[in-house]
A and B are shown apart, each in its own frame.
Chain A
Amino acid sequence: MTKNLRVRTSKFIDETYKISFKFDGKTYYGYKGDTLASALLANDIHLVGRSFKYHRPRGIMTAGSEEPNAIVQLHKNSSRTEPNVRATEVEIYEGLEASSQNCWPSVNFDIGGINNILSPLLPAGFYYKTFMWPASFWEKYEYFIRKSAGLGKSPTMPDPDIYEHKYIHCDVLVIGAGISGIIAAKTAAQNGFKTLLVDEKPYLGGSTIYQNSEHFKINNQISSSWLEKEINEIKKFKNLEIKTRTSIAAFHGYNFLLARENLTDHIPLEQRNNKTRQRLLKIRAKKVITATGSLERPLIFDNNDRPGILLSSAVEKYANLYGVACGEKNVLFTNNDSAYETAISLHQKGINIEAIIDNREEIDSKLIRETEKNNIKIYKGYTVVNTYGYKRINKISIMQLSKDGQKVVSSKISISCDCLGISGGWTPAVHLFTQSGGKLKFRDEDQVFIPNIYSSDQISIGSCNGDFTLDEILSNVPNSLREFLNIKKTDYENLEVRSSFNKTKRNIWLLPSDKVIGKTKPFVDYQNDATAKDIKLALREGFRSIEHVKRYTTTGMGTDQGKLGNMHALGIISETAGSKMGELGTTTFRPPYTPLTFGTIVGRNVGEYFDIFRKTPMHDWHVQNKAEFENVGQWKRAWYYPQNGESMHDAVQRESKAARDSAGILDASTLGKIDIQGTDASEFLNRVYTNAWSKLAIGKCRYGLMLNEDGMVYDDGVTTRLGENHYIMTTTTGGAATVLGKLEDYLQTEWPELDVYLTSVTDHYATISVCGPNSKKIVSQVIPDLNFSDESFPHMSFKNTKIDKIKCRVMRISFTGEHSYEINVQANYGKSVWEKCMEAGKEFNITPYGTETMHLLRAEKGFIIVGQDTDATMTPIDLQMDWIVSKKKYDFIGKRSLYRSDTIREDRKQLVGLLTENPDEVLEEGAQIVADVNKSPIEMLGHVTSSYYSPNLKKSIALGVVRGGKNMIGQKLIIPMENKKINVTVADPVFLDKENKRLNA
């Protein structure tokens, strides 16, 4: 039987709109306006979860985003399931299903609860201390630790929701729509600033909007009525945008902020389709006003975590905003006046209060006097020493405090209760301020950290700046705004304010007990089950830095980042270690303030939008001809063209043979192309390539190798001289952008005197490479007007010509070692010229080949691929390419590095060919190469970089890098694999046609 604890109509709850929802499989009812937490409390449910380490029963503790305990899983076993959601933030809707986390088989009977009994065996650092030995057992421990770690379950199905990113630029961003934020937003908007006001809650007005007390009045109106009018006014401003359900996740430097806007989380699932669920707002604000308010502190005493123990301010909010009593026998425990506000509110609503325990002894204020007038018993100078009740608090015992607050004296008094509201004063919510790089200062009188030095154009106002009372807010906020916005006056000067709050507080970080600390469980971090005892243990074990204590005890490391308990942890450390709070500093508050979904972070960048991909002009042809594709950088390149269900190996063998026997055709459009013009173009090439360029005749091509300044090979490709001052450079596919960037860098910063202009034309041309002994016959059919004789058009030369009326450049260059031509046409004619070549090549069985065959063919010739046969440690000398390094040139990029003491070592890894003893055995690329397997440890000499079965040589060939390999030709080495040792012989890297006869065949 559940009770109904709905007390009296609240104007925030629509009692005509009933909503049914499920919690742990059972159906309950709530009203529009309820959160999951308020609806559960109205049904008298406090127990909603189990704690992380000890599996202690835990209930709802707060009424906001700082909630450490009431963490639930939504919509289990559905694609929309979401773990670690705070019940205090979930607005209920028809069909909502929530369940408890971290318990099995149920929240009421949880086997893990045994950990609570075993807790003396689970001290701080338990995992670090226990699972260290023997080291080899870690794999076994890990399995169990992983199983028991973590809170909720992540979804296993694709996310059906839509997320997006949006940029917002504004003059003034106001964070938080409490009384200070509303005042700030209105003032900014009135003065013409383009203003954005955001608040994480679905309503405006913060905690003032549900006040209903004669003790807090502005201009003789109750503060909530006054604020309501202000809210109605700000809605009229055209230059003020208001976003509710929007939480600032991160406050970066330069006033750049990230926010999560919730759009559909509060509506029934079936209404969410095709709507954007959450938006990540990327906000650039000229000025930021932080009005994030403050969080109430709990009090730290034995068993302060039982279901039914809430923050006093949460008890008040549930009564005033949601019309829900958290219990029938309420007790409040406080060290300041806030609990009396709660008491007065509860009394107004007809909710019973058994007693108030106040740790202050001699106190008096208007609030206290009114409470006493209502016949509520107040125990002054007392503290709670223990609580009772396993799944719900049912009793507390209290004792009188000694004068110094260090001990308890007198005898115990028991008070039965079903709800205990606790208040330890207020902590300014400075999380965003510190994220932005702001520096805090400690205010001794009420033991709070408040903003001190700002890192950008921003201010903090209201209670996040340490102004907790209504009169402080209304006198300080207008002053701050005038100065910050540089305006003459605000609407808020000389308001008549009544604020009955007495600021006296008796701050005791860890309240004394009649038991020794070892026998108590005073929780500091509820979510991670870290107690004051753990913190003291850490200090005894020698930890001093707050950052270390945090990690050792896991205090503040839950999904709530210790919003409630971090200050107490600091306080206990400072008291125990005898250091000053201000000097101790705080731990770092990191983004996000509250957790973000992955969906929000990635936005629309999922599936095919995850990354762009580039297609060549002939892409559709490749698709039609069933090519398999390979990703090269962002390009999709045809990899091989399987016919009739061929395997990759068979296709590549067929393509490779056809290219050498008759003719092959390759789409080489992805090669980087840089157009180089200017009177100093030749000089420029001289400086960036290792070989000489001044004497290259117009119409000729030359292969070039580009180094980094450290002498290591960076890129390669053929460059053609199109005119006196005009070259076209080709780069590797992957290197196109970085090569252009590097060349621009040198031109702009080292050699600005050179008259050279670089333009990327990679996408402007389609490149078709036709190779093989019949290539000339095919290309001369496609371009009948051109003289293809060897005399007129020799290897390494170029012609400007036309195919029909289409201008094209034809280069006679070869990456396969075969007689071959490369036709470059304007990109949009690429496909038609390709098809012409295919048509002309029909009688010669022209065979399209992909990148895999290209790699095989060039390996037969020992041509390197930069990035495959080289990494950033190979010089041209290491590659046995001494021939391309000019001895005559005075300088080029990387030249000086080629004779550093390290680069001239004889035992550097050098590129060699590798032949297997068994010609059918193909090596694995990346396999290690050794000389002696009997020596331990086995000395690694190098590795295999390229390896293929060559159909043209009918044997396995490989390239590899081997220490000192240049002088090891003919030597036998070993490639040890998992189950066998493969014997190889070091060979010359050129396997086929050393004399280059095929180029002119």
Chain B
Amino acid sequence: MFLINCPYCGEREQSEFKAGGEAHIIRPKQPTELSDDQWAEYLFMRKNIKGIQFERWVHTHGCRKWFNVVRDTSNDIIKAVYKMGEKPPTK
């Protein structure tokens, strides 16, 4: 069970949080303009990387805020945590 540094509350145990899948998948502004394939790309396709992955997490049993986490999925080491709307760290 790892620790997550919630950008609003500080470091808390993983059990207080819920994972929300891959981060930075933006809901298309005009879904009706999209072909089936384009819509399916948004709806279904996720990377599921072994290694550095950008993820969404929510502090369910805390402030209930969503935020982003950069996690190495091979060893659960969290490289960075940043708020929604902030740019992902480049390094």
- Please give the residue numbers on chain A whose beta carbons come within 8 Å of chain B beta carbons, in ascending order: 252-254, 256, 437, 455, 709-710, 741, 744-745, 748-750, 752, 890-891, 895-897, 900-901
- 6 interchain pairs (CB within 8 A)? A254-B1, A710-B43, A744-B66, A748-B65, A750-B27, A896-B39
A-B contact sample (13 more), CB < 8 A, given A254-B3, A709-B27: A253-B2, A254-B1, A256-B1, A709-B43, A710-B43, A748-B65, A748-B84, A752-B84, A891-B31, A895-B32, A896-B32, A896-B34, A900-B39
Complex-state Cα separation, A752 to B67, whole angstroms: 13
Contacts of A890 in B (CB 8 A): 32
**How many angstroms between the C-alpha atoms of A278 and B60 in the bound complex?**
31
| A741, B60: Cα distance in complex, Å | 8
B90 within 8 A of A: no
Q: How far is the CA of A895 from the CA of B39 in the complex (A)?
A: 11
Choose among B31, B56, B60, B76 the residue with the greatest number of A CB atoms under 10 Å from its CB.
B31
Q: Point out the residue from A253, A709, A896 that lies within 8 Å of B75, measured CB to CB.
A: A253
Quick one: which of B43, B58, B65 has the most chain A CB within 10 A? B43
Q: Which 6 A-B pairs have the closest CB atoms?
A: A896-B31, A748-B66, A254-B2, A750-B27, A253-B76, A256-B1
Beta-carbon contact of B66 and A745 below 8 Å? yes
Judge whether A895 and B36 touch: CB under 8 Å.
no
Q: In the complex the two chains form, is B85's CB within 8 Å of A752's CB? A: yes
Q: Which of B19-53 contact A (CB under 8 A)?
A: 20, 26-27, 30-32, 34, 36, 39-40, 43
Chain A residues with Cβ below 8 Å from B18 are 741
Tell me the minimal C-beta distance from B80 to chain A in angstroms. 16
* Min CB gap B1→A, angstroms: 5
Are A745 and B39 within 8 A (Cβ)? no
The range of chain B's interface size is 20 to 34
**Residues in chain B within 8 A of chain A (CB atoms):** 1-3, 18, 20, 26-27, 30-32, 34, 36, 39-40, 43, 56, 58, 60, 64-66, 75-76, 84-85
**Chain A min CB distance to B14 (Å):** 9
Interchain CA distance A455-B76 in the complex, whole Å: 10
> CB distance A900 to B65 under 8 Å?
no
Q: Please, how many angstroms separate the alpha-carbon atoms of A748 and B66 in the complex?
A: 7
A853 to B56, CA, bound (A): 42
The answer on a CB contact under 8 Å between B75 and A455 is yes
Cross-interface CB contact of B64 among A437, A744, A895, A896, cutoff 8 Å? A744
Closest to A254 in B: B2
Chain B, Cβ-Cβ closest to A890? B32
Contact B75 A900 (CB under 8 A): no
CB distance from B6 to the nearest CB of A (A): 14
Which residues of chain A come closer than 8 Å to B26, judged between CB atoms?
A: 750
Complex CA distance for A744 and B34, rounded to whole angstroms? 26
Given contacts A253-B76, A891-B32, A896-B39, contact A749 B56 (CB under 8 A): yes
Whether the pair A745, B76 counts as a contact (CB closer than 8 A) is: no
Measured CA separation A900–B38 after assembly (Å):
11
What residues on A are CB-neighbors of B30 within 8 Å?
891
Nearest Cβ on chain A to B24's Cβ, whole angstroms: 10
- Distance in angstroms between the alpha carbons of A709 and B34 in the assembled complex: 14
Q: How far is the CA of A616 from the CA of B64 in the complex (A)?
A: 25
A437: chain B residues within 8 A (beta carbon): 75
Contacts of B27 in A (CB 8 A): 709, 750
Secondary structure call for the A interface? mixed
- CA gap between A437 and B32 in the complex, in Å: 47
Is B40 within 8 A of A900, CB to CB?
A: yes
Contacts of B64 in A (CB 8 A): 744
Question: Within 8 Å CB of A900, what residues of B?
Answer: 36, 39-40
When C-beta atoms are compared, the residue in chain A nearest to B32 turns out to be A896
Inter-chain CA distance A891–B36, complex, in Å, is 16
Distance between B78 CB and nearest chain A CB, rounded to angstroms: 9
Q: Which residue of B lies closest to A902 (CB)?
A: B36
Cβ contact within 8 Å between B75 and A897: no
**B1 & A252 in contact (Cβ 8 Å cutoff):** yes
- Bound together, the chains give a CA A749 to CA B58 distance in angstroms of 11
> Which residues from A are CB-within-8-Å of B66?
744-745, 748-749
B2 to chain A: which residues have CB within 8 Å?
253-254, 256
Q: In the bound complex, what is the Cα–Cα distance between A745 and B57 (angstroms)? A: 10
B58 interface neighbour in A253, A256, A709, A741, Cβ under 8 Å = A741
Q: How far is the CA of A901 from the CA of B36 in the complex (A)?
A: 7
- List the B residue with the shortest CB-CB distance to A747: B66
* Minimum Cβ distance to chain A for residue B40 (Å): 7
Q: Report A-chain residues with C-beta under 8 Å of the C-beta of B65.
A: 748
Residue of B nearest to A710 (CB): B43
Residues of B within 8 A of A455 (CB): 75
B20/A745 in contact, CB under 8 A: yes
How far, in whole Å, are A896 and B1 apart by their CA atoms in the complex? 38
The residue in A254, A750, A891, A897 that gathers the most chain B C-beta atoms within 10 A of its C-beta is A254
Q: State in angstroms the CA–CA spacing of A338 and B63 once bound together.
A: 59
Contacts of A709 in B (CB 8 A): 27, 43
Contact B84 A749 (CB under 8 A): yes
Which of A709, A890, A896, A897 has the most CB atoms of chain B within a 10 A radius of its CB? A896
Chain A hits for B75, CB < 8 A? 253, 437, 455
Q: Given the complex, which residues of A lie within 8 Å of B43, measured CB to CB?
A: 709-710, 897
Chain A's closest residue to B68 (CB) is A749
> Quick one: closest A residue to B83, CB to CB?
A748
Nearest residue (CB) in A for B78 is A254
- Considering the complex, give the chain A residue whose CB is closest to the CB of B66: A748
CA distance A710 to B42 in the complex (A): 10
Which residues of chain B are within 8 angstroms of A710 by Cβ–Cβ distance?
43
How far apart sit A899 and B39, CA to CA, in the bound complex (Å)? 11
Closest beta carbon of chain A to B3's beta carbon, Å: 5
Q: How far is the CA of A711 from the CA of B18 in the complex (A)?
A: 23
Q: Once the chains are docked, how many angstroms separate the CA of A741 from the CA of B64?
A: 8
Complex Cα–Cα for A749 and B57 (A): 11
**A750 contacts which chain B residues (CB < 8 A)?**
26-27
Residues of A within 8 A of B76 (CB): 253-254
Bound form: Cα–Cα A455–B75 in Å = 8
Complex: A710 Cα to B34 Cα, angstroms: 14
CB distance from A288 to the nearest CB of B (A): 15
Chain A, Cβ-Cβ closest to B28: A896
User: Bound state CA distance, A896 and B56, in angstroms?
Assistant: 24
Question: A710 to B40, alpha carbons, bound, how many Å?
Answer: 9
Chain A: which residue is nearest B26 at the CB level? A750
Chain A's nearest CB lies how many Å from the CB of B12? 11
Closest Cβ of chain A to B25, distance in Å, is 10
Q: Whole-angstrom distance between the alpha carbons of A256 and B1 in the complex?
A: 7
How far apart are A757's CB and chain B's nearest CB, in angstroms?
12
Partner of B39, one of A256, A749, A752, A897: A897
> Which residues does chain B contribute within 8 Å of A252, judged by CB atoms?
1
Q: Whole-angstrom distance from the CB of A992 to the nearest CB of chain B?
A: 38
Give the complex CA separation of A744 and B85 in angstroms.
15
Q: Which residues of B contact A895 (CB under 8 A)?
A: 31-32
Report the separation of the CA atoms of residues A712 and B75 in the bound assembly, to the nearest whole angstrom.
Answer: 35
> In the assembly, what is the distance between CA of A709 and CA of B31, in Å?
11
Bound: A100/B69 CA distance, A: 53
Chain A, Cβ-Cβ closest to B67? A748
B1, closest chain A residue (CB): A256
